[in-house]
A and B are shown apart, each in its own frame.
Chain A
Amino acid sequence: MPDETAIKQLALEHCWRINDRDIAGLLALYDPGVEFEDPVGSGPRRGHAELRAHAAQAIAAGVREIPGTAVGTMDARQAALPVTGLLPYVPGRPLLAALGLSGAPADRAGQVLVVDYVMVVAMGDNGLIEQMRSYWGTTDVRLADRSSVPREDRHGR
């Protein structure tokens, strides 16, 4: 019998392991055949190697993830989690174009990039994530004063 709290916990662990820069721990949450799409609309990718590369890129960019409240489903197979992602703002970096901020100004000292997104995950019979979709668009990325965003995640450990 699937456990609704288990799938929610998997989604939260995703954020915490990203924050811990623990790629091996992150991959351990995912089925080797996982299909993921981040952001939705960019096209699905598959497997641990692709996910490792994707996560490594985010970690190298300095991402920190602050999860909100996860919700489940009646079949206890899926969960959705709102997340605020924070990235150091480095003017001119290629990442900005990917985030839809290629025209961002160069003099934004003390600012961070904020990406609001919702992660939807589906769990397989083995208790691992077999599908992950991350919903965010260009209107969900903004610059904000570092002092105005949360400093602590909900690590809970």
Chain B
Amino acid sequence: MVDERARKELALEYCRRMNAGDIDGVLALFGADIRFEDPVGSPPVVGHAALRAHLMAAIAARVREEPGTPVAARDGRQVVIPVVATLDYLPLGPTLAAAGLVTPPADPGATRLRFSLLSLISVGPDRLVHEVRVFWGRTDLSVVPAP
């Protein structure tokens, strides 16, 4: 059992470390058996090595995660946090466009991808994250001008 405030702080710390580009710090929050399903409905990323590659793609695209208010569960285990994540359109955008998820922008170098998402996070007694399920669908993804 991990108390509610500790779980919420863990979720917020994940966002802070992603924004800092601190991949080792991010991975230190996860158990070795981490199962990371991003988005829900896609094959999960399992284990530190695979998760490093998955998250580095976002960090390389200068991801910015703006967390909303996290909420807990009464099971001593889960926490949910809404996040608006933005990252450079390149290099991930063309893959998403090829899948029909976004319309290719006229100027890919001057645009960002914007994800409205919600992460359902499971925390173990070791205070490490063991499962993340990231809710977002095609209607939660858009292309926005770079600031």
- What residues make up the interface of A, taking CB atoms closer than 8 Å to B? 4-5, 8, 39-42, 68-69, 71-80, 82, 116-118, 120, 135-140
Contacts and interface: CB of A to CB of B under 8 A. Distances in A.
B40 A73 contact: yes
A23 to B, nearest CB: 25
Given A72-B140, A73-B41, A138 B74 contact: yes
Interface of B: 4-5, 8, 39-42, 68-69, 71-76, 78, 80, 82, 116-118, 120, 135-140
Contacts of A4: 137-139
Given A74-B40, A118-B71, 17 more contacts: A5-B139, A39-B73, A40-B73, A41-B75, A71-B137, A72-B135, A73-B137, A74-B41, A74-B42, A74-B137, A76-B41, A78-B135, A80-B120, A116-B71, A135-B78, A137-B73, A138-B4
A78 to B, nearest CB: 6
B40 A139 contact: no
A130 to B, nearest CB: 16
A140 B79 CA distance: 11
